[in-house]
Structure 1
């Protein structure tokens, strides 16, 4: 059974949010209502690049990206930089390379839009994500940070 990736349509956003919710729940990270509302807004933002993975007519993965910003976020967009803010796959489809397909789709669309590099942040202890990003050509920059939960995160980039 093949998996197809494509740009999300407005009717996909509820299912994309559910993929995000299920993946977080499987990692024992239950988002609160404020976080759910922020993700809904991010997915609906006209500037967002949202791609979905579909298998047998069912949404099984989603990724979202946006124009990259200066490190502090206050100085505006960095020309050519595309920031991947979300890559999520339904837990019952983990291990099927859907994350790679999503990253390929984001990369292709980012290139089409004129971006020259991709960046993302992920949890330092998220071994599954780190392996995915390494296979997709991302490399650590040495920059680190912390989420509001205290979780340590690492910065990765990939030229296009």
Structure 2
């Protein structure tokens, strides 16, 4: 089994690869993005990289395999220096089930490529069983918070705390 290697997304090529992985994953879940949406995500990735937020690219062997973007958590009381928020975690659909997403989240939890946050939060679709399994396996617990997206999907918030 190939090894999963995690690196920071920095240059334009790694940003392009991250967006392509996102597009492939969205398409595989029957939500192919429009060209406008792809451009918005490309801008978001570039903005987060430019702001010094955590943006990770995983390679499974030599193959680009997954991406993660996280930023400092900002709650009702403003930014929280000890916490981060995962805004994007996507894996090449051909590699689903190979542990790539788990390796990305684990790297963030350990602080390998980032600020060493002791708390992380994430929102995911309630129907996204794969994502829920990933986050639960990495120690995330449901907060009880939910909301509904404009297309009607319910999303749930999960949180992880170190130690």
Cα shift readout 1:123-147 (whole Å, capped 9, x = no counterpart): 0000011001000110000000111
Name the SS of the counterpart of 1:9 in structure 2: coil
Of 55, 72, 76, the residue aligned with 2:60 is 55
Give 1:40 shift: 1.1
Residues 68 and 50 from structure 1, CA distance in 2 versus in 1: closer, same or farther, beyond 3 angstroms? Answer: same
Name the SS of the counterpart of 2:111 in structure 1: helix
TM-score, scaled to structure 2: 0.88
2: CA distance, partners of 1:35 / 1:80: 31
Name the residue aligned to 2:5.
4
Name the SS of the counterpart of 1:113 in structure 2: coil
2: CA distance, partners of 1:37 / 1:99: 23
Of 130, 135, 146, the residue aligned with 2:148 is 146
Name the residue aligned to 1:17.
19
RMSD of equivalent CA atoms: 1.8
TM-score, scaled to structure 1: 0.90
Name the SS of the counterpart of 2:17 in structure 1: helix
Contiguous gaps of at least 5 residues in structure 1:
none
Name the SS of the counterpart of 2:33 in structure 1: coil
1: CA distance, partners of 2:15 / 2:65: 12
Residues 141 and 99 from structure 1, CA distance in 2 versus in 1: closer, same or farther, beyond 3 angstroms? Answer: same
2: CA distance, partners of 1:112 / 1:129: 22
Name the residue aligned to 2:35.
33
Contiguous gaps of at least 5 residues in structure 2:
none
Name the SS of the counterpart of 2:120 in structure 1: strand
Cα shift readout 1:53-96 (whole Å, capped 9, x = no counterpart): 1123221111110111125xxx6322322000111110000010
Name the residue aligned to 1:69.
74
Runs ≥4 residues deviating over 3 A: none
